[in-house]
């Protein structure tokens, strides 16, 4: 039995992880579940899975949750509150694996703590790696932790890469990584109409069921930009060896092109339980609960190059990883503020890349080799981005 901590248990990844766990209760025991403020969903999960610990990051809602647990039939659950408690449960002795599924920068510190503690980190939070870069990878190497990607694209690449790809000799076998993208809901929308896109339209993804922030990132293709940065870091390749490919069917989740002309692709239905189950069972495999892909029902597989005029965020991400240093941290911080402002209808959809580009212009690519520099850069970039949003408000 492996002890599992789920950071972000009430989000879509957390819910899918619990579904996989319910199919393999002989393999995994839930030690801790965490949520930011969705205490009703967390309470129902506690009733069903009976973790030893439950964490509510929002301290005010945490007080309400404590009372709710205390007056219930599961009053023996230890309830912790506040952001620091996320790090505490991620490093418990009885935790073997940590599902890092908190969206955004908030997931960085608990993910890093899990890596430093030598846990198996199931990485669904791309921002943690984008922000901290070599710091997180160094922590994994130093502690002997395992870092297994959960994003469907990076999990697909992981399955298609050669054994020992981290070494220079094996990496030479790979000509390029083909990182697939659905193209989101506006792939064919006339560019001149994007100014009038509403939050409701932006979060209506055609293939995947995701949270609001990630859905907007998919629409702008910033999610693919962040994934490009993550792929460079995870698989030790320069950005010129990662090519983004729009594949609207979301059947092929990514591919690896080898120097001998072979291309290996990982295919499956667009169901996050597949990469979750792969990482949880690795190096074995077990049932994910997902429907098997009916290859006869797949009428065709289409591929196209992304239009950078339509998706300027993709260019900005390329600029950030090529510049290096603190620029990926700045990119991520500015994007989070811009997406939040758009969802609150303070700025237009097309203002999102404007905020990011203007914020990036205020920084130089200095080294980000300590956690203190990363956190300070993140905060400074957020403040700059808020100022830019104020100037753009309509």
Which pLDDT tens digits describe the chain residue by residue (394 residues)? 999 999 999 999 999 999 999 999 999 999 999 999 899 999 999 999 999 999 999 999 999 999 999 999 898 999 999 999 999 999 999 999 999 999 888 899 999 999 999 999 999 988 888 888 889 999 999 999 999 999 999 999 999 998 776 644 556 789 999 999 999 899 999 999 999 999 999 988 666 666 788 899 999 999 999 999 999 999 989 999 999 999 999 999 999 999 999 999 999 999 999 999 999 999 999 999 999 999 999 989 999 999 999 999 999 999 999 999 999 999 999 999 999 999 999 999 999 999 999 999 999 988 888 999 999 999 999 999 999 999 998 6
Task: Please report how many Cα atoms fall inside a 13 Å half-sphere around the Cα of residue 299, on the Cβ side.
Answer: 1
Give me the residue label for tokens 């098997």. 292
Residue ranges, comma separated, of all CATH 1.10.1740.10 domains in the chain are 157-286+293-392
Residue ranges, comma separated, of all CATH 3.40.50.720 domains in the chain are 2-149
Specify the pLDDT at position 128: 86
Give Rg (Cα) of the chain.
20
Specify the pLDDT at position 275: 97
Q: Which two tokens stand for residue 285?
A: 């495999």
Give me the residue label for tokens 């972000």. 8
Give me the residue label for tokens 């001998």. 260
- DSSP string across 123-151: E--HHHHHHHTHHHHHHHHHHT-EEEE-S
DSSP E strands, 227-369 = 242-246, 252-258, 263-267
Strand partners, 243: 178
- The class level of CATH for 157-286+293-392 reads mainly alpha
Specify the pLDDT at position 274: 97
Burial of residue 266 (CB within 10 Å: 0-12, 13-18, 19+) is buried
Residues 6+ apart with CB under 8 A from 97: 2, 3, 4, 5, 28, 119, 120, 121, 122, 280
Specify the pLDDT at position 209: 61
Closest alpha carbon to 365 in 318, 316, 330, 337:
330
Specify the pLDDT at position 211: 75
CA distances from 24 to 21, 149, 288, 320 (A): 5, 20, 9, 41
CATH topology of domain 2-149: Rossmann fold (3.40.50)
Summarize pLDDT for 85-105 with one digit per residue, the tens: 999 999 999 999 999 999 888
- Residue 5 CA to residue 2 CA, distance in Å, equals 10
Specify the pLDDT at position 368: 84
């Amino acid at each position: 039995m492996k002890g599992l901590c789920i950071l972000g248990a009430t989000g879509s990844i957390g819910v899918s992880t619990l579904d996989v766990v319910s199919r393999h209760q002989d393999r995994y025991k839930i030690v801790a579940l965490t949520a930011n403020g969705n205490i009703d969903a967390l309470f129902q999960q506690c009733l069903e899975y009976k973790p030893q610990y439950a964490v509510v990051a929002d301290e005010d809602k945490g007080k309400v949750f404590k009372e709710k647990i205390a007056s219930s039939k599961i009053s023996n659950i230890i309830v912790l509150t506040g952001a620091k408690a996320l790090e505490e449960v991620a490093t418990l002795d009885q935790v073997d694996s940590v599902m890092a599924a908190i969206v955004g920068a908030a997931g960085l510190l608990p993910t890093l703590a899990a890596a430093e503690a030598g846990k198996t980190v199931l990485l669904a939070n791309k921002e943690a790696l984008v922000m901290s870069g070599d710091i997180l990878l160094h922590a994994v190497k130093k502690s002997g932790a395992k870092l297994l990607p959960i994003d469907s694209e990076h999990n697909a690449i992981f399955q298609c890469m050669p054994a020992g790809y981290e070494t220079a000799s094996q990496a030479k076998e790979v000509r390029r990584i083909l990182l697939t993208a659905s193209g989101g809901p506006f792939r064919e929308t006339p560019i001149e109409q994007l100014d009038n896109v509403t939050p409701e339209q932006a979060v209506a993804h055609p293939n995947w069921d995701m949270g609001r922030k990630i859905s907007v990132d998919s629409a702008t293709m910033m999610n693919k930009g962040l994934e490009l940065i993550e792929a460079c870091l995870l698989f030790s390749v320069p950005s010129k060896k990662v090519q983004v490919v729009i594949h609207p069917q979301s059947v092929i989740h990514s591919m690896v092109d080898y120097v001998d002309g072979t291309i290996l692709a990982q295919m499956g239905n667009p169901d996050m339980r597949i990469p979750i189950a792969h990482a949880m069972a690795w190096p074995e495999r077990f049932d994910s609960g997902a429907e098997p892909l009916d290859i006869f029902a797949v009428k065709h597989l289409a591929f196209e190059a992304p239009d950078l005029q339509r998706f300027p965020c993709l260019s900005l991400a390329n600029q950030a990883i090529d510049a290096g240093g603190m620029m990926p941290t700045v990119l991520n911080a500015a994007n989070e503020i811009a997406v939040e402002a758009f969802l609150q209808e303070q700025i237009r959809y097309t203002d999102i890349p404007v905020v990011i580009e203007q914020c990036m212009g205020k920084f130089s690519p200095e080294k980000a080799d300590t956690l203190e520099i990363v956190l300070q850069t993140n905060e400074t970039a957020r403040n700059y981005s808020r100022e830019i949003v104020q100037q753009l408000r309509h």
